Structures are given as structure tokens and as C-alpha cells.
Structure 1
Amino acid sequence: MFSAIYIENEVKHYKRVELMLSRYPDVPHIFCERYGEIFNRNSQNFRLQKKSPALILARKHGNLVLPAPKGYGFDNGPGFYFSHMFNCVYDCRYCFLQGMYRSANYVVFVNYEEFESALHANITKYPGPSVYYSGYDCDSLALEPVSKFCKYFLPFFSKHPEVVMEIRTKSTQVRTLLESTPLKNCIVAMSFTAHDEARKWEHKVPSIAKRIDTLKKLQQAGWPVAIRFEPLIYEPNMLQRYLSLFEQVFSALDSSAIHSVSTGEFRMPAEYMKNIIKLYPDEPLFARPMHKKNGVMSLFDKNNSYHEAIEKLLLRFISAEQYYRCV
């Protein structure tokens, strides 16, 4: 899975790190002072590294819990995110991470105890309902067999029922969840695009059918699940494609028990978009007319009706109270 594993000297004696390394005895183990020596160095090619990425095990210093971007997520009080990992094992062409980072290597921050302390401090500072998003800078579950992220943090959130954790993912790696007692305040949010879009742009991602089956297993086991139809990217026959997807998704699940469903248009900071176009100059997706507003690029014209039409289709399957638009 990894071309090499880099380990910060500061964390090499962590029991968690030793267990991770024991899984890959035949992969080169290389020690370094700081993860940035590998992750942030110049003259890296994200596209080439994506074919054979390395794993970097590090300690994160500061900024362990951050405010969620405006318009991200659902309304349940203040929103925050925490990232135990940088980069994603999947290769979605529309993903902003490839424009955000120089490197396609995976960084896993192993100082979970410090994350836990920061979360506790933030919950104390902002008492009452709030949401903590995991999966903003990575896919939270895709490396669960290695990171044991959920296995560590589920007990913490079980002690704080007043706050919600959303695990955003496209992964089917849910064994830890299925072997754990379901938490009402832990939501597994699965992302989807329509079939043709998924085939074109979501490389290495589990199939739509497998993702739906994963949600079904979680829902039957008692876990709250949510669905994120993002990003919406205009294609011919878009409404029919999404109607087909909605029928497939909601016929397999108990729609009334779904925590929330959202849609969101394709959007990306202009600087990230510029970097991605350099990586994929022949990608037709990035040759389309773009709209720039407040430094953010989007494909949808805000005056057209495609998003609203999709929302009307979606509301055939769920209640208005379950729905929100991510902006």
C-alpha cells in the first residue's frame, strides 16, 4: 500500500506507531525530524506521487481543532473540524486537496491524546450543542485499519452526548463501527455523485452499490447515517441521472431514519484550481467556463435552475427538515 513509511523521531516510540509499523515490516521505515521535510519540500509532483504514495507518521503542533468553514455542514450550533490526517487514499479529480498540498503522500498525526485534550477544551469553551467534523482534509475511514482513528475517538464522544461528530467518507471500512456500540451523536455521512460522474472522476473509490450497502449495514446496526450529494457538476441528462441515483439510494435505506441529506455545488479556491490545472491540463472538467466570486471558482451559474431542480427531485424521497444546501 505504501512506497515507504516516514516516522518523526518524536513519535517513533509511541505504542500506536509501533503497532502501525508492525503491519508493514517489508516497507522501508525512514526516520525524520519533521514531516514537513518530506511533505512540504519543493519540486514534488502530486500526480506522480499519487501512483505510489508514502505514509508519514507525525505529531501535529497546534491548530488541533479549528472553526469549520462558513456554510459547511448542518445547523446544530457552532461547527468545528479536526484533522488527524492530510490527504486521501482516493483520487477524485474534482478534489481540492490536490491543489492544496504539494505532496500526495499521506500524513497521519498520531498524537491522539493531544487531539482529545483540545477537543475537551473546545467543548468546555463552547458549551451546548455543536458539531465536530472529521474528514475535511482526508477521508476519515479509508485508513481506519491502520490509524484506528474511530476506535480511539468513539469513546471520547460517547462521554459528550451534547455534541455531534460527523465522519465524512466514501469508504466501506466500517468494521470498527459495526463492532462498537452505536452512538446517537456520531453520524456517518457518505458522499455520492451520479453514476457517470463517479466513473469519470472518482478513481479508486468504492462503487456506489458498495457504499449504499455499507450505509445499509450501519443503519441496520443502529448508527445514524447521512448522505452528501456533492459536488453537483452539470452534465447532460443530469436530472435523470440523479433521479436514478436517488431511487437506488433511498430504496435501500430507511429514509425516515436518515439524519440529514445535503447537496453542494462544485466550488474551489481559485489558487487551488490554478494548481490543479497545472497537474491535469487536458482534463475537460477544468476547461469548462468557470465563475469566480470572492476568490472561489464554481461551475454552476448561480442564476440557473439545475440545483433547484435537483432539490425538488430529492424532496420526493426525504422531508424538508432532513435537507440542507451546503454553500
Structure 2
Amino acid sequence: MPAFSALYIENQCRHLPRVQDILKKCEALPHISCERYGEVFNPKAQNFRLQKKRPALVLAKKHQHFVLPAPAGYGFGNKNSYYFSHLLNCPYDCRYCFLQGMYRSAHYVLFVNYEDFGKKISETIEKCGHEPSYFYAGYDSDSLALEQYSQFADYFLPFFKNVPQATLELRTKSAQIRSLLKHKATKNVIIALSFSPDQVSKQLEHRVPTFSKRIAAAKKLQEAGWSLALRFEPLIYHKDYKTDYQDLFQRIFSILDASKLHSVSTGLFRMPQTFFRNIVKLYPDEALFAGHYDTQQGLSTYAKEIETEMLKHCETALFDYIPKEIYYRCGTGCETT
């Protein structure tokens, strides 16, 4: 269970049943009222690294920008691709994640007015007419990591079941699948699971559940009929990356049925230069940020020869297990999460 330091509640949403449920689950914590979440989240003089050890949870209402166009190169690459963010910041602590360079605060902000999100999603679907549309819920955070509090899936799974022309992707490193298993598998909901080799995960993916817990959860979901996707993003360059990624793929595909996967993707490390500089200041001794980086279109990335070598090797290894038709590369126009 996440160790929140406190709950901050916007006065305008304290009365909502969803908020009251969360308050009951966190009765032992301080409950602090505020007018706007920005009072807690936006002040300049904040220590992200210190806050990350025990962040607060802020319950708030979102008022605009409910649905945004997906960044270029993110996701399946389809027309009519969008993302929406019910949560700012992530309970996990992955060193390569751009969120640490984007936000001043490590506190979590949960936007609880799901009905307003649903209204804007419905309007967006309507604008697409008869064309399919795609919605990503894991761009600014992990879709399921706070599910025991947020009940996000409990609301949006039935919602998307009623709009079969739209597809929802939930991207996660979580093993919390209880809320998913309560529901019958929905064809137009994709559970996208992110995996890294053990060496990478132990060094860079702090607080993330173990591989064994996550792959066991993935197997349960697949057996329950859920459509799974695998995301190997970002590919992390290190001395033993060739054998590490080969071993990772072998372990995964010895457990999951590759023929039932929706899609598989790889992505390279990429981050806006300003975010990259901010994170280096936070973690100046982090080996991940030492060397091998170029700048391409305002993004900090690996040197081109490293990117080419990694993609070639990992794709060759992947195609031993999956058909090329379900594979894509996540483009360089989007950041690493």
C-alpha cells in the first residue's frame, strides 16, 4: 500500500461519494482542506527527491483539457489517438521517467470527477463519426497502481464497454488486477504491460512489483480473456543488454501465449532536454545519465549507432516469438515513462 504522508482535499470535491470512500480508506492520515490542488502541487520551493519518499495524495477536480491528442509516435500510431490523465505523478520511482523532470512536486494528484472525463471522451468519440478512436490512460502515470483508492478501472471499464468503436489502453507496471478480474473481459480494452530485464528493473525501477508477481498477474488476465499488450519501453543500454533482453523475452513467452497478444512494442530512451537536465540535477550520481547521449529534435537520446544496434538486436530476438504483424516501434516524438 502506498505510504501517503497526508490527504489534501479540494473543498469543491470533498462531498463526492468517490472522495468519501477514499477518506474512509485513509482515516489514519491527516485530512487537509485546500481550495485548489495547485496550492500543494505547484509551489516552486519543493524538494522532489525528498517528497518522493513519502508523498501526499491530493484529491481534486479537473476543469479543462480532459482529452488531448496523443503525442506523435505514441501508441498504435492510429488516426484519432488521444490520451487522458486522471492522475498526475506515479507511485513508482523509475529513474528514466520524464515525470521527474516535468513536475516540481512528487505528490500525487487524483482527479476524481470521472463523469466529466467520460463526457469529454464521449464528445471526442462522436466527433470521430464512424471512424475508430483510441484512448491512452497511462501517459502521465501508471493506470492501475493506485486502483485500490482510485477505482479508476471500475468506472471506465463499463464506460468503454458501451462504446465498442473506441479502444482504451491501460498501461501499467502494477500487479493489482483484482478490479480487472471483477469484470468480464472487454474486447476494446487493452492491458499494456511494461517489462524490463531484472538488472534494469532492480537498478532503475524502484517500488515496482517483482517480475514474478507481474507475469503471474499477466497470465491470470490472459486466462480470463483480457487482451494483453507488451511494452518494452524504454530499451536500456547496458553492458549485458543483449543477453538480458533475450532472457527476458524467453521468460515472458514461456508463460504467456504470444498468439493471443494484441500488440508488442519497443521504444528507445528519449526525453526533452529540459526534463533531462532537471533529472540529472536530482540524481547527479545516477549511472544511467552518464554518457551515450545525443540530442535529436530537442530530445536527449542514445547515440544513433547505439539505438540502431539495440533495436536490431531486440527486434530479431522478439521475432523468434511473435509475428511481425503485431509489432511496432514507439516513435521518438514521445517521452519515456
Q: TM-score range by the shorter chain?
A: over 0.9
Regions of 4+ moved over 6 Å: none
1:266 matched residue in structure 2: 269
Q: Which one-letter code corresponds to 1:229 in the other structure?
A: F
8 Å CA contact 2:137, 2:169 repeated in 1: yes
8 Å CA contact 1:233, 1:300 repeated in 2: no
Secondary structure at the aligned position of 2:203 is classed as helix
Shift of 1:285: 1.0
8 Å CA contact 2:263, 2:326 repeated in 1: yes
What residue ranges of structure 1 are gaps of 5+ in the alignment?
none
Secondary structure at the aligned position of 2:123 is classed as helix
What TM-score, normalized to structure 1? 0.98
Which deviates the most, 177-186 or 70-79?
A: 70-79
Secondary structure at the aligned position of 2:229 is classed as strand
Shift of 1:300: 4.0
2:69 matched residue in structure 1: 67
Shift of 1:226: 0.5
Please show how residues 62-101 of structure 1 align to structure 2 within 5 Å: 62-101=64-103
**1:10-60, CA deviations, whole angstroms, 9 ceiling, x for partnerless residues?**
101111101110111110000001000100011101100000100000001
**1:195-226, CA deviations, whole angstroms, 9 ceiling, x for partnerless residues?**
11111101010111211111100000010000
2:167 matched residue in structure 1: 164
2:329 matched residue in structure 1: 325
Match of 1:280 among 275, 278, 283: 283
- Whole-Å Cα distance in 2 between the matches of residues 248 and 14 of structure 1? 44
Q: What is the percent sequence identity of the aligned residues? A: 53
Matched, 1:241 2:244: yes
Matched, 1:143 2:146: yes
Secondary structure at the aligned position of 1:188 is classed as strand
Q: Which one-letter code corresponds to 1:205 in the other structure?
A: V
Match of 1:228 among 228, 231, 244: 231
What TM-score, normalized to structure 2? 0.95
Q: Which one-letter code corresponds to 1:158 in the other structure?
A: K
Shift of 1:174: 0.8
- Whole-Å Cα distance in 2 between the matches of residues 186 and 162 of structure 1? 11
Q: Which one-letter code corresponds to 1:310 in the other structure?
A: C
2:48 matched residue in structure 1: 46
Q: How many residue pairs were aligned?
A: 327
Matched, 1:153 2:156: yes
**1:270-303, CA deviations, whole angstroms, 9 ceiling, x for partnerless residues?**
1100110110011111122311111111124257
1:294 matched residue in structure 2: 297
1:315 matched residue in structure 2: 319
Q: Which one-letter code corresponds to 2:236 in the other structure?
A: I
Secondary structure at the aligned position of 1:252 is classed as coil
8 Å CA contact 1:266, 1:300 repeated in 2: no
**1:159-205, CA deviations, whole angstroms, 9 ceiling, x for partnerless residues?**
11111100000001110110101101001000011111111101010
**1:44-98, CA deviations, whole angstroms, 9 ceiling, x for partnerless residues?**
0110000010000000111000000000011443210000000110101111100
- Whole-Å Cα distance in 2 between the matches of residues 170 and 284 of structure 1? 23
- Whole-Å Cα distance in 2 between the matches of residues 257 and 30 of structure 1? 47
1:9 matched residue in structure 2: 11
Please show how residues 85-124 of structure 1 align to structure 2 within 5 Å: 85-124=87-126
- Whole-Å Cα distance in 1 between the matches of residues 12 and 84 of structure 2? 21
> Using CA pairs below 8 Å that are at least 6 residues apart, which structure has the higher relative contact order?
2
